[in-house]
A = this chain, B = another copy of it.
Amino acid sequence: MSAGATRAYELLIQRSRERGLLESCATLLEWDEETYMPLEGVEHRSRQRALLAGLLHDRLADPVIGELISEIDLERMGPFERVDVEEIARLHRRHLKIPRTLVEEIARTATIAQHEWAAARRAQDTERLRPHLERIVDLKRSEATALHDGRPDREPYDALLEEFEPAARARDLASLFLALKSDMRPLLDEIRGSTRSKNAGIDVLQRQFPVELQRRFVEDAIATVGFDVRRGRLDTSAHPFCAQIGPGDVRLTVRFLAGDLSEGLYSALHEAGHGLYDQGLDPERWGTPTGDAPSVGLHESQSRLWENFVGRSRGFWAHFFPKAQSIFRPVLDDVDLDGFHAATNRVAPSASRARADMVTYDLHILVRFELERALISGALEVRDLPAAWDEAYEHHLGLRPDHAGEGSLQDGHWASGLFGYFPTYTLGNLIAAQLYLAAQRKVGDLESAFAAGDLAPLLDWLRTHVHRASHLRPASALVQSATGTPLSHHAFTAEVKRRLSSIYGL
């Protein structure tokens, strides 16, 4: 590259890193909001977040970004550098289309609405949330329209989806969801017809597990899978999440319930999966696009992989069940490894996404995907959402929620302004299965290593093929490269069937 082009690239990256720093301040604000912020701090917090959102927007929309990019010769760059420039260019074009006032208003409104949602959910009162959610939907429709720009091959919802999953289209996702549903519904019927279905339903995970002991158990588990607590921490919050503040500062939150071991344990393994990804990213690239994951769905693949394909495997429990028995003594004294392992794989459809099993989980996502797509297109209005929610559950899962708290108030994503986010959960599930099976083909019998308490072979493989491969974009290209097969639902179906067949004797 010419000296000028090199200089332009360096200046672009410097701006990207500065933006990353500022964004990481916003991430700390979000983390604090869910963990330690006092009740009356929310109004001020909404202003802080609006300001930072506005400043971040200005940086991406800055005309200097466009000028610097035009000086760079993409053909003469390395694979990481090239992706960095292309990705910054994409974000620049995106932000040029949205006014700063809209960005600020969404941040401000969403911060308030998120807290109103939590109160509305506790009160099971959809009317309390309605005006806030209407405002958010209005704002997100404006954003979608501005971003969509009238392109005939896309729908406005696609523009929101792009924020989390740059290459995804609603039309393709709809086909994928239906294909997956046509695999899962018959499997669900088979399991329900199994003679072992009742026994596997014995709720050994729903006994009394003192929270302090759960914390010890979970801390041991996340350290064993490889999460470095010197470079992170574990807190509790009403809704578990992972926040990447910086290369040495990755924070997980979980929720413990004394009467349900799976709540704390699986939220911890899930968030630790995100945390392992963040701790595995190249710190030298921090603040550049290739210093982060190519998509939210790919990030989610790591949480799903550790939560479900590791954390519900027999090998994992061969190592951890004796530890659980010992820590929680005498609560699990009458349970054996097989019974415990079966309980962690219990299939039982319910109205709750957070407590869903591997067979029905993506049907919950399908419901949300269809509803949010309709909310953004205008086919559905917020006032009709509670009824539409219940009908969609009847249609896809064959059951109806008992009350609004388990119905349309169940998740806070929409109140937080997250539209187009839910599909990343299902993409994560599918990718997780593909990666897990590919790792197994390459590394050898993973479960034997788990049984010996050795999670490193799997993590090492993921470090190389996923965490340090952020130049492979879109996410589907990384999946193809890492697994040798295109992104699809086949691996997920096959692996879920294989696991549940042995447990349920199908």
Q: Does A220 contact B (CB under 8 A)?
A: no
- Name the residue of chain B whose CB is nearest to the CB of A287: B47
What is the CA–CA distance of A45 and B231 in the complex, to the nearest angstrom?
A: 13
Asked whether B51 lies within 8 Å of A22 as measured between CB atoms, the reply is: yes
- In A25-69, which residues have CB < 8 Å from any B CB? 25, 28-29, 32, 36-45, 47-48, 51-52, 55
Asked whether B32 lies within 8 Å of A246 as measured between CB atoms, the reply is: no
Q: Does A216 contact B (CB under 8 A)?
A: no
Residue of B41, B48, B245, B247 touching A25 (CB-CB under 8 A): B48
- Name the residue of chain B whose CB is nearest to the CB of A42: B248
Residue of B40, B47, B233 touching A38 (CB-CB under 8 A): B233
Asked whether B231 lies within 8 Å of A40 as measured between CB atoms, the reply is: yes
Chain B positions within 8 Å of A52 at CB level = 25
Q: Does A112 contact B (CB under 8 A)?
A: no
Chain B positions within 8 Å of A43 at CB level = 246-248
Instruction: Return A362 CB to nearest CB of chain B, in Å.
Output: 34
How many protomers of this protein does the assembly include?
2
Q: Does A18 contact B (CB under 8 A)?
A: yes
Contacts A230-B39, A231-B40 hold; do A21 and B51 have CB atoms under 8 A apart? yes
What is the CA–CA distance of A289 and B40 in the complex, to the nearest angstrom?
A: 22
A-side binding surface: helix, strand, loop or mixed? helix
Q: Does A331 contact B (CB under 8 A)?
A: no
What is the CA–CA distance of A43 and B24 in the complex, to the nearest angstrom?
A: 13
Asked whether B38 lies within 8 Å of A248 as measured between CB atoms, the reply is: yes
What is the CA–CA distance of A5 and B158 in the complex, to the nearest angstrom?
A: 48
- Name the residue of chain B whose CB is nearest to the CB of A21: B51
What is the CA–CA distance of A248 and B29 in the complex, to the nearest angstrom?
A: 15
Instruction: Return A286 CB to nearest CB of chain B, in Å.
Output: 8
- Name the residue of chain B whose CB is nearest to the CB of A44: B246
Chain B positions within 8 Å of A233 at CB level = 36, 38
What is the CA–CA distance of A249 and B32 in the complex, to the nearest angstrom?
A: 12
Q: Does A486 contact B (CB under 8 A)?
A: no
What is the CA–CA distance of A36 and B48 in the complex, to the nearest angstrom?
A: 20
Residue of B28, B40, B47, B230 touching A21 (CB-CB under 8 A): B47
Chain B positions within 8 Å of A36 at CB level = 36, 233, 235
Contacts A245-B41, A248-B43 hold; do A48 and B24 have CB atoms under 8 A apart? yes
Chain B positions within 8 Å of A44 at CB level = 24, 245-249, 286
What is the CA–CA distance of A248 and B38 in the complex, to the nearest angstrom?
A: 8
Contacts A18-B51, A32-B32 hold; do A45 and B230 have CB atoms under 8 A apart? no
Contacts A246-B45, A249-B44 hold; do A25 and B21 have CB atoms under 8 A apart? no
Chain A positions near chain B (C-beta within 8 angstroms): 18, 21-22, 24-25, 28-29, 32, 36-45, 47-48, 51-52, 55, 229-233, 235, 245-249, 251, 286
Q: Given A36-B233, A38-B232, A44-B248, 19 other A-B contacts at CB below 8 A?
A: A21-B48, A21-B51, A22-B51, A25-B25, A25-B29, A25-B52, A36-B235, A38-B231, A38-B233, A38-B249, A41-B231, A41-B246, A43-B247, A43-B248, A44-B245, A44-B246, A44-B247, A44-B286, A45-B249
